[in-house]
Amino acid sequence: MKPILEVSDLHVTFRSEHHEVKAIRGVDFTIHEGEVVAFVGESGSGKSVTFQSIMRLLPQPPANIDKGTILYNGRDITKISETEMQKIRGKEIAMIFQDPMTSLNPTIRVGKQIAESLMKHQKVTYQEAKDRAVELLKMVGIPSPSERVNQYPHQFSGGMRQRAMIAMALACSPKLLIADEPTTALDVTIQAQIIDLLKDLQTDTGSSIVFITHDLGVVAEIADRVAVMYAGKIVETGTLDEIFYNPRHPYTWGLLASMPRLDQTRDQDLASIPGSPPSLVNPPVGCPFTARCPYAMKICQEQMPETTKASDSHQVACWLQHPDSPKVENPIVSRR
């Protein structure tokens, strides 16, 4: 598989007059053609910021890419001009966002919002773009698309709006679709529909998808690979099976344990990870999870663990992987 997005050593900082927040502190990953990669982690772990900074959607200042390279099809897009970047956004890499209520412009017809992207990237007339918008709405399963195309976002239900967002993102057949918590703001039943839609569209178009979420249940539905983020770093990454059946990082264990299960009895408490992530104004020198980790060792507080390979596709940044550390087993054996 050919890599389409290669990110290495990405550092992003938000600077204001009074302090700076080191939101992304050295992130490396690769997205290949046609694969679905899920990025999971708590809010504030940096998963959205990573991709918004790749897309250059964060206002600068305060945000700034301090360091790192982002190769899109082999070209470093941190070096290109804003005009060049505009040709990539929406055409090569498209994005859908968490809240379809606020992510669509309330005063512009849905059809026009879809057409805008086509007119920009494919140099078609408004009429052609609008006809195409009808097709797109049909493709994402919106009934009577030729009427819907002339309606305003507030006339759509939440699920419909997210479908319209997807139609807008797919308008120019992007090679990479970044879905930033696309189901978080929706009802559970609608969530499943949207996931199914994304899965089908992915099969049809073969584009790659980055799926940002904090919901591991969704991850299991759709992802080929998973990257777990914590405090601005990727702490573990592997295939879906590796992460679900052979997780190595205590944070991943915690995440999996906090997932509700059908086979859980009612009197069993849902596990949670005590504490909260560290402030990224003064991030800890060592492993950021130390303060919440039940297996923390002295070294964890002093030094950031190296990334080690558990397999070719499975990487973990944890001192427990070191030969000198005590052997700790995943406390919950996956029962799937």
Partner 1 sequence: MNSTKKLQKSWFEPLAPSEKNSEVLAPQTGYWKDAWRRFKANKGALIGLVLIILLLLIAFIGPLLNGFDYSTQNLSISNQEHLSGHFLGTDSLGRDLWQRVWYGAKVSLLIAFIAAFLDVVIGVTFGGISGYFGGRVDSVMQRILEIMYSIPNIVVIILLMMYLEPGILPIAVALAFTGWVPMARVVRAQILKLKTQEYVLAARTMGASHFRILFKHLIPNVVGPIIIAVTFSIPSAIFFEAFLSFIGLGLRSPAASLGILVNDGYRTLQLFPYQLFWPALVLCIIMLSFNLIGDGLRDALDPKMKK
Partner 2 sequence: MVKYTLKRFGLMLLTLFIITTVTFFLVRMLPGTPLANEEKLPAEIREQILQQYGLKDPLYIQYFKFMGHLVQGDLGMSLSQNGRSVNELLSDRIGPSAIIGFQGILIGIVIGLLLGIAAALKRGTWVDSLASATAVFGVSIPNFVLAGLLSYWIGVKFGWLPPALWGGYEYTILPSLSLSVYVIAQVSRYIRTEMVEVLDQDYIRTAKAKGLAWRKIITGHALRNAMIPAVTVLGPLTVNILTGSLVVENIFGVPGIGNLFVESIMVNDYTTVLGTTIFYSILFLGVTFIVDVLYGVIDPRIRISGAKE
Where on the chain is the footprint of partner 2 (CB under 8 A)? 52, 55, 57, 82-83, 86-91, 94-95, 97, 99, 102-108, 116-117, 120-121, 152, 154-155, 165, 168-169
The neighbouring-strand residues paired with 9 are none
- Which tokens belong to 34? 């046609």
**Closer CB to partner 1, residue 264 or residue 313?**
313
Name which of partner 2, partner 1, none residue 155 binds, using a CB cut-off of 5 to 8 Å depending on partner kind: partner 2
Name which of partner 2, partner 1, none residue 270 binds, using a CB cut-off of 5 to 8 Å depending on partner kind: none
**Closer CB to partner 2, residue 50 or residue 117?**
117
Helices 158-170 and 110-122 sit at what angle, rounded to 10 degrees? 10
| Alpha-carbon distances, residue 234 vs 8, 207, 215, 217 (angstroms) | 12, 23, 17, 20
- Which tokens belong to 319? 């001192």
Separation between Cα atoms, residue 256 and residue 243, nearest integer Å: 9
**Closer CB to partner 1, residue 141 or residue 284?**
284
Considering only the C-alpha atoms of the chain, give the largest distance between any 2 of them, rounded to a whole number of Å. Answer: 67
Name which of partner 2, partner 1, none residue 104 binds, using a CB cut-off of 5 to 8 Å depending on partner kind: partner 2
- Shortest distance in whole angstroms from residue 112 CB to partner 2: 9
Burial class (CB in 10 A: 0-12, 13-18, 19+), 172: middle
**Closer CB to partner 2, residue 113 or residue 213?**
113
Name which of partner 2, partner 1, none residue 290 binds, using a CB cut-off of 5 to 8 Å depending on partner kind: partner 1
Name which of partner 2, partner 1, none residue 319 binds, using a CB cut-off of 5 to 8 Å depending on partner kind: partner 1
- Shortest distance in whole angstroms from residue 298 CB to partner 1: 5
Q: How many CB atoms are located within 10 Å of the residue 84 CB? A: 11
Pairing outcome for strands 36-40 and 208-213: parallel
